[in-house]
A and B are shown apart, each in its own frame.
Chain A
Amino acid sequence: MAKKRKAPGINATSSADIAFMLLLFFLMTSSMDTDKGLPRRLPPPVPKDQKKTDLDIKKRNIMIVLINSNNQILCNNEYIEIKQLKDKVKEFIDNPYNDEHKPEKVSVDVPYFGEMLVTKNHVISLQNDRGTEYQAYINVQNELAAAYNELRDDVSRKKFDKAFGELDEEQQKAVQLIYPQKISEAEPKNYGGA
């Protein structure tokens, strides 16, 4: 008769480590695919009984960016390339030489900065055809965002010596007062185009 042997227990101290490794792996991979995008705000819906009133915007305050169904860009009745758009928009928003064809400047009291001349009433009107490709539309939206971001970065570097993204909330708000993002997206029309 053989002696009854006891099976030796498996040393399980490291299984906690293995489990932790798995856990970390899943945590890392699941947070990696965070969704990125261009945030925008839509205007609230127009009540059905309200009549269409054309807002009276001075001509100098408005910049019309049109994208046709061939993905070509028309900016203030001028055909331009996507690369030129950012500088055009920056010049329009900033109006550095107080050009009378660019948006008018209004004196605004901004925290941290004091009285500033701001092109508060400018509007960039983005219009597109129903046949425009989404990528072309995103390209234009991206250039517009880039223009705003660069202007905001410039002013925050000058004042706070930091990029816009590194400022605290109050400071960001102040900078946003100087360069408010005003993009109006008109309802699309069928402009057609060859």
Chain B
Amino acid sequence: MGKFNKSGGREMPELNTSSLPDLVFAFLFFIMMVTTMREVTLKVVFRAPQATELQKLEKKSLVTFLYVGEPSQEFRAKMGSETRLQLNDQFAEINEIQDYIAQEKSSMKEEDQPFMTVSIKADRETKMGVVSDVKQALREAYALKISYSAQPRVN
């Protein structure tokens, strides 16, 4: 039979929190890794155009970025000053878009694939000829949801 000891006032044992900082740090590092992974080093000059009727892109994991602009100063010597396209970390040609989109698409979950959005980050001084070529390539690649990336306009 158990014996109930009523006389000795029990105390709540204190929770050992010495490992809490480690947990939080682990989480912190995770967040840092994930957020920096999406960042690409820009090799083109990109100043976003301005607009007012902007909508936020919903899910970041479904968004693929395409950069269009002139090569930045350090690549000028090699690439010239013609408007170029950047996919991930490299300069690319228009005809590489289709493969790139297909590759990005296949890395997504199947149910997410129809919601894939391509964000076109084009410099505000880009000529529309290049942007139209990109749009045509995206149409061919069946990436039909696009977003023209822009900054909110300050009046």
Contact = CB atoms under 8 A, between A and B. Distances in A.
Contact of A40 (B17, B50, B57, B147): B147
B146 A40 contact: yes
B24 A20 contact: yes
Contact of B145 (A18, A23, A39): A39
Given A12-B21, A134-B122, A141-B51, A36 B152 contact: yes
B153 to A, nearest CB: 8
Q: Decide if the interface of chain A is mainly helix, strand, loop or mixed.
A: mixed
A14 to B, nearest CB: 9
Contacts of B57: 34-37, 39
B17 A142 contact: no
Given A37-B54, A38-B55, A188 B129 contact: yes
Contacts of A67: 128
Contact of B126 (A35, A37, A133, A185): A133
B142 interface: yes
B39 to A, nearest CB: 9
Interface in B125-151: 125-129, 131-132, 135-136, 138-140, 142-151
B65 to A, nearest CB: 8
Interface residues of A, number: 44
Interface residues of B, number: 52
A17 B82 CA distance: 51
Given A19-B25, A39-B57, 16 more contacts: A13-B17, A16-B17, A16-B21, A23-B28, A34-B60, A35-B65, A36-B149, A38-B53, A42-B139, A134-B123, A134-B128, A135-B124, A135-B125, A142-B150, A187-B132, A188-B129
25 contacts: A13-B17, A15-B21, A16-B17, A19-B28, A20-B24, A23-B28, A34-B57, A35-B119, A35-B147, A36-B55, A37-B120, A38-B55, A38-B148, A39-B55, A40-B146, A43-B144, A130-B129, A133-B126, A133-B127, A134-B123, A134-B124, A138-B49, A146-B52, A149-B53, A187-B136
